[in-house]
């Protein structure tokens, strides 16, 4: 006949195993989220590297240099236009005559 002590011992071992499995599951979920973040960050960095390589390959010739400068001027002009259009409080005053 099993003793009461052995029954309690088996019960606490089972409870400990359940708690250990829960903690292991939670840590596995955190590990999966961190691995996902690492993969996304690595993919974004790889994309930027590919874009940088594309730009350097395209601008390696004289024609590419001219085209790159054209797009840089268009980009700077677009940003300047957007900046002046988005801030309505910075209007210039026209030359009004004083009375």
Contacts 24+ apart (CB under 8 A), 8-13: none
Is residue 8 included in any domain, yes or no?
Answer: yes
Domain count, the chain: 1
The pTM (predicted TM-score) of the whole model is 0.48
Is residue 40 domain-resident?
A: yes
Task: For residue 16, report the phi and psi dihedrals to the nearest 5 degrees.
Answer: -65, -40
Residue 39 sits in which domain range?
4-86
Q: What are phi and psi of 72, to 5 degrees?
A: -65, -40
Residue 47 in domain: yes
Q: Is residue 96 part of a domain?
A: no
Establish if 31 belongs to a structural domain: yes
pLDDT in tens, 74-84: 999 999 999 99
Mean local confidence (pLDDT), 89-97: 59
Asked if residue 98 is part of any domain, the answer here is no
Query: What CA–CA distance (Å, rounded) separates 51 from 45?
Result: 10
Q: Per residue in 39-65, pLDDT tens?
A: 999 999 999 999 999 888 877 877 778
């Amino acid at each position: 006949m099993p003793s009461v002590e052995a029954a309690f011992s088996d019960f606490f071992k089972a409870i400990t195993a359940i708690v250990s499995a829960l903690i292991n599951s939670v840590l596995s979920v955190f590990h999966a989220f961190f691995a996902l973040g690492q993969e996304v960050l690595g993919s974004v960095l790889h994309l930027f590297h590919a874009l940088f390589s594309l730009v350097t390959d395209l601008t390696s010739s004289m024609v590419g240099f001219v085209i790159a400068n054209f797009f840089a001027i268009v980009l700077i002009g677009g940003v300047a236009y957007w900046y002046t259009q988005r801030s309505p409080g910075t209007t210039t005053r026209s030359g009004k005559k004083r009375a």
